[in-house]
Structures are given as C-alpha cells and as structure tokens.
Amino acid sequence: MSPNEENSVCSARDVEQILKRIAFEIVERNSAVEKLVLVGILTRGVSLARRLKRIINETADRDLPLGSLDITLYRDDLACATHHPVVRKTEIPFSLDGVTVILVDDVLYTGRTVRAAMDSLIDFGRPQSIQLAVLVDRGCRELPIAADFVGVSVPASPQDRVMVRVEESDGFDKITVMPRD
C-alpha cells in the first residue's frame, strides 16, 4: 500500500497532547494517586504507559509503578490461530492487591485483548479496580467492554485498518486509518 492511501487521524504533536489530557484525567479521577499503578499491554501499550508515567511524574509529581503485560497465553483464539504468536515477557514487579490498575493499550477494538488482559491481571492479585486507558477507540466491540479514558474515537468498520505508530517502536507517532488489503 502506498503511504498516500493512509488517512492520517493524528500527528505526533496531537498524540502528545492526547496523552497529556489522559494523564490529567487519570489523576483527576483518582484522588488516591498513591494507589495507582500503570500496566501496558505489549508492545505499544507499554510505550504509551511509559509516557503516561513520565507525564504524571512531571505534572503531579508522582512516580507510578509501571508493568508490562503479554496477553498471548490468555487469548481466546489460540486453538484456531494457524501460526503461533510470539510470547513476550510479562513484567509486573509489584503487588496488584488493593491497587488501582490503569490498563493501557493503543487501540480498543473487539475488546478481546482487554478481556484477556483483565483475566491475566486478576491472576496476579486482587486489584481494587481496573481502569482502561486507550489512545484510540475504533468501535465494533464483540464483548461488553468500555474504556475509562479514550484519546480519540475513530469510528471504523471491520474492513478498515487502524494503526497506531509510536516513536519507541516505529520511529514516529501517528494514528492512521486505511482500507484493509
């Protein structure tokens, strides 16, 4: 596909602004900031969570614990996946008992990844609550799941491909929508 077929929704500066707003909303909604922890879903969710951590540290002077979660072993489509997804390292070096987990991912679509992530988190402990922060909500849910913090809503059909690129993995920040080929 050629780059001009991509429909850019957000540029790098927009992404940074959106993350600042989400960080602000997280702190605003959770008066007990000391109980907050961030857990990003690999790979891009972790990059975004790390940035939220930096912003909250700068603006609210709180250094939140940060974990990363690989949900492969909790997927509901393992039996029908024809080739194997790579299992990456989950790292949650703190207790989840009694804390408020901010679960961070790049795109919220069917809700199946979030379901898997919640099951996985609950195996680690009993958080007081789990809140979901996503950069993009593209709709078309297949499970009754909603995000608490949404960067942008991009109504897209299943035929579309919504891509989030972040500097850490892709060299630049960008949200794009394009037809699936």
Q: How far is the CB of 67 from other proteins (least distance, A)?
A: 11
Name the residue nearer to other proteins (CB basis): 100 or 120.
120
Residue 70 in contact with other proteins, rule: CB under 8 A: yes
Q: How far apart are the two ends of the chain, measured CA to CA in Å?
A: 8
Residue 124 in contact with other proteins, rule: CB under 8 A: yes
The CB-side HSE value for 51 (13 A sphere, CA atoms) comes to 22
Residue 78 in contact with other proteins, rule: CB under 8 A: yes
| Total residues binding other proteins (CB under 8 A) | 23
What does the DSSP assignment read for 102-122? Answer: EEEEEEESSSHHHHHHHHHHH
Tell me how far apart the alpha carbons of residues 116 and 85 are, in angstroms, rounded to a whole number.
15
Token couple for 148? 């608490």
Name the residue nearer to other proteins (CB basis): 22 or 103.
103
Window contacting other proteins (CB under 8 A); options: 71-79, 132-140, 145-153, 161-169: 71-79
Window contacting other proteins (CB under 8 A); options: 18-26, 83-91, 138-146, 151-159: 83-91
Residue 94 in contact with other proteins, rule: CB under 8 A: no
Name the residue nearer to other proteins (CB basis): 30 or 90.
90
What does the DSSP assignment read for 53-92? Answer: HHHHHHHH-----EEEE--GGG-S-TTT-SSPPPP---B-
Write out the residues near other proteins by the rule CB under 8 A.
Answer: 70, 72-74, 78-91, 119-120, 123-125
